[in-house]
Amino acid sequence: MATVDGNPIVAIAAEAREFEGLLRHASSLSELDWPVQFARRAEIGGASWILSANGPGPRLAGEAAELAARQCEPRAFISTGFCGALDPALDACQVFVASSVDARDQGRQFDSNPTNVDAPHAQGRLLSVDRVAVTAAEKAALWAEGSSVVEMEAAAVADRAERSETPFYCIRVVSDTARDEMPLDFNLYRDPDGRFSRGRIVAAALMRPACFAGLIRLDAHCRRASTNLGDFLADCRF
């Protein structure tokens, strides 16, 4: 298994496509032979980065963060990728920088470092739970508890950063607004490891053709969101 020299910035996401916008800024890129779904070393803005994606949820994100910590001495850990808006004022594709990460399932809260970039972004409290917030009603209930966005991996990355006394950042981008209803309940289509089963999602969509418009809209949001997130991250200095 390849190790990494130096002190790279380690970014952990759920899916490789969440890095597509950032990879546009890479001056060099190499694949790492790591037992995760996606691992690349990139040079971005004169800094060395490790980009790792291992699937949704805290267990898989924790495995990716643990592996990165063993293979190198990270300069910083970043939890990044898509998030769902709970605050009705947040727009799709808007960058969000967490001031804190609420690991509700573990009864813990982690601080997240602020960025030093002037590019527009929202800030606030992020909720990290092991499920997708599917309906507008569910998002409204979570918003009433005090968080601005929700996602699935940040708490595990924050925990690993804390244990190694490594600076932690949580920089996300909104893929769906507080008003958006998911076209399917994606929680129903996770495999035993916690990853989303694309085959089962496609099969479910074929049984419900009316959901295709929502899936297409969500995909379009994700593509534009990844570009906005990548541009923002490339401007940051950690």
* Share above pLDDT 70 across residues of the chain, in percent, rounded to a whole number: 97
Listed range (4-13, 49-58, 204-213) with the worst mean pLDDT: 4-13
pLDDT at residue number 117:
87
- The answer, yes or no, to whether residue 6 has pLDDT greater than 60, is yes
Residues shown for the chain = 238
**11, HSE (Cβ side, Cα atoms, 13 Å):** 29
Average pLDDT over every residue of 190-199: 93
pLDDT at residue number 4:
54
**Is residue 24 a part of any domain in this protein?**
yes
165 close to 99: Cβ distance less than 8 angstroms: no
Residues 31-74 have pLDDT tens digits of 999 999 999 999 999 999 999 999 999 999 999 999 999 999 99
Instruction: Strands of 9-140 (E only): list them.
Output: 9-13, 26-31, 38-44, 47-53, 76-85, 95-103, 108-111, 122-128
Number of domains into which the chain is organized? 1
Residues 155-172 have pLDDT tens digits of 999 999 999 999 999 999
- The answer, yes or no, to whether residue 224 has pLDDT greater than 70, is yes
pLDDT at residue number 1:
43
**Is residue 4 a part of any domain in this protein?**
no
**Is residue 210 a part of any domain in this protein?**
yes
- The answer, yes or no, to whether residue 5 has pLDDT greater than 70, is no
- The answer, yes or no, to whether residue 3 has pLDDT greater than 50, is no
194 burial class (0-12, 13-18, 19+ CB within 10 angstroms)? middle
- The answer, yes or no, to whether residue 2 has pLDDT greater than 70, is no
Q: Work out the pLDDT band at 118, boundaries 50, 70, 90.
A: confident
Residues 59-117 have pLDDT tens digits of 999 999 999 999 999 999 999 999 999 999 999 999 999 999 999 888 999 999 999 88
**Is residue 1 a part of any domain in this protein?**
no
* Share above pLDDT 90 across residues of the chain, in percent, rounded to a whole number: 93
**Is residue 115 a part of any domain in this protein?**
yes
Write the CATH number for 43: 3.40.50.1580
Dihedral of CA atoms 79, 82, 84, 86 in degrees, nearest 10, equals 50
81 close to 14: Cβ distance less than 8 angstroms: yes
Structural domain range at position 135: 9-235
Average pLDDT over every residue of 137-151: 98
pLDDT at residue number 106:
87
**Is residue 3 a part of any domain in this protein?**
no
**Is residue 66 a part of any domain in this protein?**
yes
